[in-house]
Amino acid sequence: MGKYYKDLESCHQRIEQYIHRTPVMSSTLLNEMAGCHLYFKCENFQKGGAYKMRGALNAILQLTDEQKAKGVTTHSSGNFAQAVTLAARSLNIPAYIVMPSSAPSVKVAAVKGYGGNVIICGPTLKDREAMSDKIISETGATFLHPSNDLNVIIGQGTAAYELLQDHPDLDAIITPVGGGGLIAGTCIAADGKQDVYGGEPYAVDDAYRSLKSGKIESNETTDTIADGLKTQLGDINFPIIRECVKEIIRVTEEEIVDAMKLVWERMKIIIEPSSAVTFAACLSSKETFKNKKVGIIISGGNVDLSQLPF
């Protein structure tokens, strides 16, 4: 992915004044449990509570003045919705956010609190896309895809870029896999020097199946606690993932909850279920990571405290 690496460096310079340089944390106890050395890149401390601010900013900052005047729109269950709203507000442009009726109430409230124009639609991807098309035709807003836009992908890759600046000797990096933007961006940041792995729930294992079949697969159900991982890969990020990702590791719902609880209890930080998938993947594949230095991307910490699974 060397052809995109210079774009990644330029992107980081472009967005760094608008984002937090999030900390990298570790835990001796969790290292012992996993049998390896873990370095948690804590994007739960990012603006908007998730890494997605990075990609949203990179995409919006490269729009023309005319495009900015008409605003931006996206569809998201929560984290990218918050990111686009925050990024748009920081640049004083309108944001029209399509959110499914199944989105966590805490995320809907956050988008509204950040000043986004929230439009609720049905729960399926088709519902989201249809409503987004309607908004574009009515407002002229520019659509930002949460994960299948190269500028967004490169922006998301800056989380791993910073992690590797702090710890260049990592052997591997694990990210959650939903729409594929974060893991594709991580592949660009790793640039072939680190193995990149994905963590994915069994309940929505489309990325795992896509790597096996060589084509983009979809899910018939979305019955997982990891609400941020219900979307599927896209035609821009999938070629990057197919070329560079070592393996997608699937985990059960119980493993996700157990990993989430461990991080809350032992590291004293709030992470959402989608983030816990990475640590769960590490625990379920101990032989793969034994004695290695492993970066874990904690993707976000936007949790509905009234719906905790433990």
The DSSP bridge partners found for residue 251 are 201
Gap between the Cα atoms of 247 and 271, Å rounded: 23
Residue 193 appears among annotated catalytic residues: no
157: closest CA among 7, 3, 8, 290? 8
Exposed/middle/buried for 220, CB within 10 Å: 0-12, 13-18, 19+? exposed
Number of alpha carbons in the 13 Å side-chain half-sphere of residue 233? 27
Cα separation, 268 vs 245, whole angstroms: 30
Q: Which amino acid, residue 195?
A: D
Does 52 qualify as catalytic in the annotation? yes
Taking the alpha carbons at both ends of the chain, their separation in whole angstroms is 40
Which residue out of 52, 210, 285, 299 is catalytically annotated? Answer: 52
Q: Residue 99: name the closest of 72, 76, 130 by CA.
A: 76
Chain centroid to Cα 41, Å, comes to 12
Helices (H) and strands (E) in the chain, counts: 15, 10
Q: Which of these is catalytic: 41, 47, 77, 230? A: 77
Q: Any idea which residue has 């792995």 for tokens? A: 197
301, 45 Cβ separation under 8 angstroms: yes
Residues annotated as part of the active site:
52, 77
